[in-house]
Chains A and B, each alone.
Chain A
Amino acid sequence: MKEFFYATAAVAQAEIRKLRRDPTELFSRAVQPVLWLAVFGQVFSKVRGIPTGDISYLDFMAPGILAQSILFTAIFYGIAIIWERDLGIVHKLLVTPASRTALVLGKALAAGSRGLVQAIVVYLVALGLHIGIRWDLWAMVSVALAVFLGSCIFSTFSLVIACVVKTRERFMGIGQVLTMPLFFASNAIYPIELMPGWLKTIAFVNPLTYLVDALRDSMILGGHGMYSQTTSFGIMAAVFVALLVTASKLYPGLVR
């Protein structure tokens, strides 16, 4: 068990060091949520075409844009894994006695940390746009946990895709194909109640829906989400464990 912890920490530490050293990516990733909130969100707030209950449309979509920012960043994590395979780094990791799950978990935790930085960016933009964010400590801890878990889910999902497709070219195609449907088949920018039946079904099995709901509940609504926090976090944790197990099985196949 100790060895598992050391290996996970070693991988996560190395990844976080690399991230800290190259903050340009964090800034470039920040552009998209800023545009969605400052341009799309402000315009659609004026239209008042989407019923969002007692809150403004901008308040409604801010958690969705944070979730989108996490999804769009994490879903391309697999490209880095394929690049590491081409450099021989994956080979080197796989010949160590470290558990495959520890190697995958270490990478997921690093992606989780990256998500937290994105959350700070979205909070700063939200502050500038006077979005009604709840600033109490528990709400912020809950948002941090959801962001962390969401980043772990989508980065590990990305790793699974990388292990299946194995080449950068195929991965880019699949990544593009997956991100927009995941985003639009969720409650990120409109309520599920507005969706047709078939889309509701997809939204129901889409983990992004539970991430958005957990974020919206903690950031804005304060206990009035569509699902309880236990349900949202429980489903997200289950999805992450399933992806972690799958990725741990598939990861060694990347070098074959």
Chain B
Amino acid sequence: MTKADPTCSIEIRALTKTFDATCALDHLDLTIPHQCIFGLLGPNGAGKSTAIKILTTLLDATSGFATVAGFDVASKPVEVRRRIGYVPQMLSADGALTATENLMLSAGLYGLRGTERSARIHEALVFSGLESMSENLVKTYSGGMIRRLEIAQATMHRPEVLFLDEPTIGLDPVARRTVWDRLLELKASTGMTILITTHDMEEADYLCEYLAILHQGRLAVVGRPADLKAAIGSKATLSDVFVAHSGAVLEQGGHYRDVREARGTAQRLG
């Protein structure tokens, strides 16, 4: 087994994932440093969600290796899970439970008990701004409130790395901004490494210190947003960078399931 680089939070080497005849990730190499917000961009079907699923131990790679927080995702999945938080693209907070009950569930799954559990739940409610609504069912919340709760749930055990899969999909501009503010606050207060996938160039520009663009399962480019833009032209936007490196064409629209999930999430956040 290759030894993990101690200076980075996530290390990916020749990571490959194939589904029957489809190659979702093709020898991906990527290093994500400690304590940064790192954006993973790419057209639908570029391999972003597959990469996140492998890094969060939900999916096994076909070949290659990846470490998260210093542990190999294939051989030490439980150690990885102890050190990560994950906010999936879909709305994962249980609408039939209150915010407090959702947080109690997460606390139980991370082995938090007694006064520590109560303190972390209170802390999470304050962080998400849901103290006054904590006993209301989550299905009565707005999309932004649910996302803030999910981030609080995913971070109540104080992970080293937080994964967010298109966290602001379907949110209105105000809700989107409150989610961004929470993420920046989280990074500033904890020094957590945050890996975020997004299609929103404004979001990537606002939040991310580093960006990587994936295209057809391969790394197309990686760097700081300002450097990537400068390399294209003096007035280039991140959208220009995206188009230049992803070579996206209309026929490449991702898998039916990905599109269905994205639309479903947007509809639920409505």
What residues of chain A have their CB less than 8 Å away from a CB belonging to chain B?
A: 2-3, 6-7, 9-11, 13-14, 17-18, 21-22, 86-89, 91-98, 252, 255-256
Contacts and interface: CB of A to CB of B under 8 A. Distances in A.
A92 B88 CA distance: 7
Interface string B246-261: 0000000000000001
Nearest to A84: B94
Contact of B108 (A9, A87, A255, A256): A9
Contacts of A95: 56-58, 81, 84-86
Contacts of B111: 2-3, 6-7, 97
A97 B110 contact: yes
Interface stretch (B99-107, B191-199, B201-209): B99-107
Interface in B214-265: 261, 264
B96 interface: yes
Interface of B: 53, 56-59, 78, 81-82, 84-86, 88-92, 94, 96-97, 101, 104-111, 113, 137, 153-154, 261, 264
Nearest to A22: B96
Given A89-B94, A91-B58, 19 more contacts: A6-B109, A7-B108, A7-B111, A9-B108, A10-B105, A13-B104, A18-B96, A21-B96, A86-B261, A87-B90, A87-B91, A91-B92, A95-B57, A95-B81, A95-B86, A96-B81, A96-B106, A96-B109, A256-B58
B109 to A, nearest CB: 4
B149 to A, nearest CB: 12
Contacts of B113: 6
Nearest to A91: B88
Given A13-B108, A95-B84, A96-B109, A87 B53 contact: no
B264 A86 contact: yes
A10 B90 contact: no
Contact of B97 (A18, A92, A256): A18
Contacts of A93: 109
Nearest to A19: B96
A10 B109 contact: yes
Contacts of A18: 94, 96-97
Contacts of B78: 97
B82 A97 contact: yes
Contacts of B106: 96
Given A18-B94, A87-B90, A88-B90, A96 B56 contact: no
Contacts of B96: 18, 21-22
A252 B77 CA distance: 12
